[in-house]
């Protein structure tokens, strides 16, 4: 079995892959039933879909609409550019790595072009379409409420991005216009599947890359030595779902942030600082010293910046592991463009 | 030095429109500047002034004001290439 990361988005060719026939040649194209079944099965699990097709955009989108399939595809790339360029654009728009993409096409030429330019993409032949839902790269252990809503959440994101591009003015004013609400709470059993999913799916905004099994996460809930926090964000376009996670290990008066991660969908929202400020205040109120572990993974430089610019200074270095210590004397104010909601602490006794 | 300051000021304006920062004012005092902001500021500085900001330069004090960024860029540019 491969050690590939799970596929987050499947990119479809259309002619003779999603549907039977070639649209431009005037065929009366019809979607293949097994392709539609695969599309819907993966959508239910939270795998996203997009399109890389050589066609005229308008009639092609009209066809998809006619079949009731248009809403399944995010950022469809329909035009005459190489398919590898379309895949890169899709990864950039969704804000995931190219290595989280799979591509399915009936044409050997197109598959080879993508495999050559982007070797990290999982390339599939259209004859395999019915088998895709059973492939390990497309199988997640849990389907959570957030994964089922993932497409809708990305669609809300698409609307946000359009609004942001059209917004004339400074970025701060745009963020204010979003009317964001950020909720931080202690994790409960219902959050664990999503928490595990976040540890597996989040590569960029992740301080250590540690992954924890469901059982390990569950043991933290009742442990006096651990604090597991989840963070969710919502704005006027809709929910982002649970997008942040922090695991704090308490040992005497040392509190250590073992894991701090944020979904890349909230990268520019300024909510990381709010979560960190919350943890700082909890540690300060408990009379503890706050440490944060950081392990360079090659993709998480932004979390190094996050620690450093939230006034953590390097205290110790052991091989790849850097231990930062937080300044709890001067905790900066939370940015005022986000409403912070912290429900009453459930008492863990 | 003045070009660097002008560039940084222009960059800040893209974020926060209704505030003119003084050269020595703490950019982070508002609580607004996030890590993405820092990342974009670093990219801008690297691109505009052909320098490389290493992990060792990622210190709060190097980015906390317009003056500080100008000092960092000047120091990095003073190192001859290839050394």
DSSP per-residue string spanning A275-334: HHHHHHHHHHHTT-EEEEEEE--SS-HHHHHHHHHTTEEEEEEETTEEEEEE--SSPPPP
Cβ distance B17 to A306 less than 8 Å, yes or no, reads no
Q: Which residue of A165, A167, A169, A170 is the best one to mutate when testing the B interface, meaning the one whose CB has the most B CBs within 10 A?
A: A170
Cβ distance B31 to A308 less than 8 Å, yes or no, reads no
Q: Which residue of B17, B36, B43 is the best one to mutate when testing the A interface, meaning the one whose CB has the most A CBs within 10 A?
A: B36
A130 and A268 share one domain: no
**Residue A346 counted as domain residue:** no
Q: Which residue of A95, A171, A300 is the best one to mutate when testing the B interface, meaning the one whose CB has the most B CBs within 10 A?
A: A171
How many domains in chain A? 2
Cβ distance B36 to A267 less than 8 Å, yes or no, reads yes
Domain boundary among A138, A172, A199: A138
Domain boundary among A138, A164, A181: A138
Tell me which residue of A244, A226, A124 sits closest to A184, measured CA to CA.
A244
**Residue B81 counted as domain residue:** no
Half-sphere exposure of A257 (CA within 13 A, CB side): 33
Domain at A264, CATH number: 3.40.630.30
Cβ distance A170 to B39 less than 8 Å, yes or no, reads no
The rounded distance, in Å, linking the Cα atoms of A203 and A320 is 17
A118 and A153 share one domain: no
**Residue B83 counted as domain residue:** no
The rounded distance, in Å, linking the Cα atoms of A342 and B14 is 31
Domain at B16, CATH number: 1.10.1200.10
Q: How far is CA A186 from CA A56, A259, A303, in A?
A: 50, 15, 22
A246 and A314 share one domain: yes
Token digits for A242?
Answer: 């649970």
Task: Return the CA Rg of chain B.
Answer: 12
Say if CB A77 and CB A90 are below 8 A apart.
Answer: yes
Residue pairs spanning A and B at CB distance below 8 A: 64
The rounded distance, in Å, linking the Cα atoms of B35 and A303 is 8
**Residue B24 counted as domain residue:** yes
**ipTM reported for the complex, 2 dp:** 0.81
A183 and A111 share one domain: no
**Residue B82 counted as domain residue:** no
**Residue A117 counted as domain residue:** yes
Shortest CA gap A266–chain B (Å)? 10
Cα A156 to its chain centre, rounded Å, is 14
Tell me which residue of A309, A56, A211, A128 sits closest to B28, measured CA to CA.
A309
Say if CB A253 and CB A288 are below 8 A apart.
Answer: yes
| Residue ranges making up the domain that contains B20 | 2-75
Domain at A43, CATH number: 3.40.50.1000
A191 and A125 share one domain: no
| Assessment of whether the complete model's pTM goes beyond 0.90 | no
Which residues of chain B make contact with A333, given a CB cutoff of 8 A? 31
A230 and A133 share one domain: no
**Residue A349 counted as domain residue:** no
**Residue B80 counted as domain residue:** no
A200 and A336 share one domain: yes
The rounded distance, in Å, linking the Cα atoms of B38 and B58 is 9
**Residue A348 counted as domain residue:** no
The rounded distance, in Å, linking the Cα atoms of A4 and A2 is 5
A295 and A174 share one domain: yes
The string of pLDDT tens digits covering residues A233-264 is 999 998 888 999 999 999 999 999 999 999 98
Is the CB of A270 inside 8 Å of chain B's CB atoms? yes
Q: Is the dihedral of CA A273, A276, A282, A286 positive or negative?
A: negative
A131 and A165 share one domain: no
| Residue ranges making up the domain that contains A110 | 9-138
A190 and A305 share one domain: yes
A124 and A156 share one domain: no
Is the CB of A339 inside 8 Å of chain B's CB atoms? no
Domain boundary among A83, A109, A138: A138
The string of pLDDT tens digits covering residues A272-331 is 999 999 999 999 999 999 999 999 998 898 899 999 989 899 999 999 999 999 999 989
The rounded distance, in Å, linking the Cα atoms of B78 and A18 is 58
A299 and A273 share one domain: yes
Cβ distance B35 to A306 less than 8 Å, yes or no, reads yes
How many domains in chain B? 1
Shortest CA gap A345–chain B (Å)? 25
pLDDT at B43: 86
Token digits for A342?
Answer: 């912290």
What residue ranges of chain A have pLDDT lower than 70? 1-3, 141, 345-349
**Residue A333 counted as domain residue:** yes
Which residues of chain B make contact with A272, given a CB cutoff of 8 A? 34-35
Tell me which residue of A183, A195, A202 sits closest to A220, measured CA to CA.
A195
Is the CB of A170 inside 8 Å of chain B's CB atoms? yes
pLDDT tens string, chain B, 83 residues long: the values are 788 999 999 998 888 877 888 999 988 876 666 667 888 888 899 989 999 998 889 888 899 899 999 999 999 887 655 44
């Amino acid at each position: 079995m491969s050690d590939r990361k799970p596929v987050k988005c499947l990119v479809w060719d259309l002619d003779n892959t999603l549907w039977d026939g070639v649209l431009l040649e005037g065929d009366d194209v019809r979607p293949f039933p097994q392709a539609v079944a695969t599309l819907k099965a993966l959508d239910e699990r939270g795998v996203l879909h997009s399109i890389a097709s050589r066609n005229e955009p308008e009639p092609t989108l009209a066809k998809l609409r006619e079949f009731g399939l248009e809403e399944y595809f995010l950022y469809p790339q329909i035009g005459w550019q190489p398919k590898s360029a379309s895949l890169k654009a899709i990864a950039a728009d969704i804000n995931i790595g190219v290595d989280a993409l799979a591509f399915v096409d009936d044409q050997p030429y197109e598959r080879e072009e993508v495999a050559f330019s982007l070797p990290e993409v999982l390339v599939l032949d259209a004859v395999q379409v019915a088998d895709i839902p059973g492939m390990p790269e497309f199988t997640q252990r849990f389907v959570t409420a957030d994964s089922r809503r993932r497409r809708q959440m990305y669609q809300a994101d698409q609307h946000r991005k359009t609004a942001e591009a059209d917004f004339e003015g400074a970025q701060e004013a745009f963020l204010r216009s979003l009317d964001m609400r950020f909720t931080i709470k202690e994790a409960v059993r219902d959050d664990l599947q999503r928490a595990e999913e976040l540890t597996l799916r989040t590569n960029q905004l992740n301080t250590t890359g540690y992954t924890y099994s469901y059982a390990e996460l569950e043991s933290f809930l009742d442990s006096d030595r651990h604090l597991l926090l989840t963070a969710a964000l919502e704005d006027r376009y809709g929910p982002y779902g649970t997008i942040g996670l922090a695991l704090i290990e308490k040992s005497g008066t040392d509190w250590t942030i073992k894991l701090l991660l944020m979904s890349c969908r909230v990268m520019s929202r300024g909510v990381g600082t709010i979560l960190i400020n919350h943890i700082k205040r909890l540690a300060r109120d408990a009379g503890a010293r706050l440490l944060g572990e950081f392990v360079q993974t090659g993709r998480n430089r932004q979390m190094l910046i996050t620690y450093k610019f939230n006034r953590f200074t390097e205290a110790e270095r052991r091989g790849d592991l850097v231990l930062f210590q937080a300044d709890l004397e001067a905790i900066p104010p939370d940015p005022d463009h986000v409403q912070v909601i912290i429900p009453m602490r459930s008492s863990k006794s | 030095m003045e070009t660097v300051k002008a560039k940084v000021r222009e960059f800040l304006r893209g974020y926060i429109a209704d505030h003119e920062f003084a050269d020595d004012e703490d950019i982070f005092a508002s609580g607004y500047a996030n890590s993405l902001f820092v990342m974009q500021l670093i990219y801008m500085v690297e691109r505009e002034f052909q320098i490389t900001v290493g992990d060792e330069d990622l210190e709060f004090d190097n980015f906390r004001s317009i003056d500080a960024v100008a000092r960092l860029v000047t120091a990095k540019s003073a190192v001859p290439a290839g050394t």
